[in-house]
Amino acid sequence: MTSYTDESAARTLIVRTARSLFGRGLTHGSTGNLSVRLADGSLLLTPTGSSLGTVEEAELSRTGPDGRHLDGPRPTKEAFLHAAFYRSRPGAQAVVHLHSTHAAAVSCLDGLDPANALPPLTAYYAMRVGTLPLLPYHAPGDDALEPLAERTARSHHAVLLANHGPVVAGASLEQAADAIEELEETARLHLLLRGHATRPLTPEQAAALAPASP
């Protein structure tokens, strides 16, 4: 498990990861937000209204574990989601939330299983994501979602927000980013295969690959 003891290095990592996600089309405009948990328990987050393609290290926000703003610009309006995941998952050191195209598209489909929005089409999805609960629609920034997110995060490190996008926690920022990218690729496969007979992994095969809990 990664512990972010050096705030300067953590800022560099957040910006590098943000640039990578934006540059590869995994988020757009001023959507998406990243955070890491520092060794003192405070959270370092991308600020509200920022683009992951242009955010700078000095522009990051810092909040307490309770979400209280400590310094820097105002944090993302979805900071409460990050705080909810950290409270529920003691091993999580990073959270990534994106509006990636294919995962967002899946989140708009009718008839999804709220307990698991995507089938385990590949071994890497089963390893990095596992099951993906669908949380009901709330407007962006609506903190009424916080208690539901906190309860769900106790047993799942990844969720899909209806008509919105995915949120993934990890033991490091690299792990969370890898998992959310795998989720996006599986969503793309799922949409490409609609109308075709598919053969997902069996429950036994998926369970054998289930990710360790961060």
The reply to whether 2 falls in a domain is: no
Going residue by residue through the chain (214 aa), what tens digit of pLDDT does each one get? 678 999 999 999 999 999 999 999 999 999 999 999 999 999 999 999 999 999 999 999 999 988 889 999 999 999 999 999 999 999 999 999 999 999 999 999 999 999 999 999 999 999 999 999 999 999 999 999 999 999 999 999 999 999 999 999 999 999 999 999 999 999 999 999 999 999 999 999 999 999 988 8
Domains held by the chain: number: 1
Using one digit for the tens of pLDDT, what is the confidence trace for 165-191? 999 999 999 999 999 999 999 999 999
Q: Are strands 33-37 and 158-161 parallel, antiparallel or unpaired?
A: unpaired
Q: Which two tokens stand for residue 212?
A: 């360790």
Contact 98, 178 (CB under 8 A): no
User: Among this protein's residues, is 57 annotated catalytic?
Assistant: no
| 173-192 and 7-23 helices, crossing angle to 10° | 20
pLDDT digits (tens, 9 = 90+) for 142-154: 999 999 999 999 9
89-110 pLDDT, tens digit per residue, is 999 999 999 999 999 999 999 9
Is residue 133 one of the residues assigned to a domain?
yes
Q: Whole-angstrom Cα distance, residue 146 to residue 152?
A: 10
% of residues, the chain, pLDDT over 70: 100
Strands 158-161 and 69-71, bridge-based pairing: unpaired
- The DSSP element (H or E) to which 187 belongs, if any, is helix 173-192
Length of the chain counted residue by residue: 214
Provide the pLDDT for residue 16.
98
Among 7, 57, 59, 124, the one annotated catalytic: 124
- What is the domain range of residue 85? 7-209
pLDDT of residue 12: 98
Asked if 125 is an active-site residue, the reply is no
Distance CA 189, CA 168 (A): 19
Q: Is residue 1 part of a domain?
A: no
Contact (CB, 8 A) for 103 and 160:
yes
User: Quick check: is 67 in a domain?
Assistant: yes
Which of 4, 78, 125, 150 does the annotation list as catalytic? 78
- Which residues have a Cβ under 8 Å from the Cβ of 164 and sit 6 or more positions away? 99, 104, 107, 137, 140
Comparing C-alpha atoms, which of 6, 16, 17, 70 is closest to residue 43? 70
Instruction: Name the pTM for this structure.
Output: 0.96
Contacts of 79 (CB under 8 A, 6+ apart): 33, 35, 43, 45, 61, 63, 67
Pair 84, 159: CB distance under 8 Å: no
Domain-embedded: residue 214 = no
At 11, which CATH number? 3.40.225.10
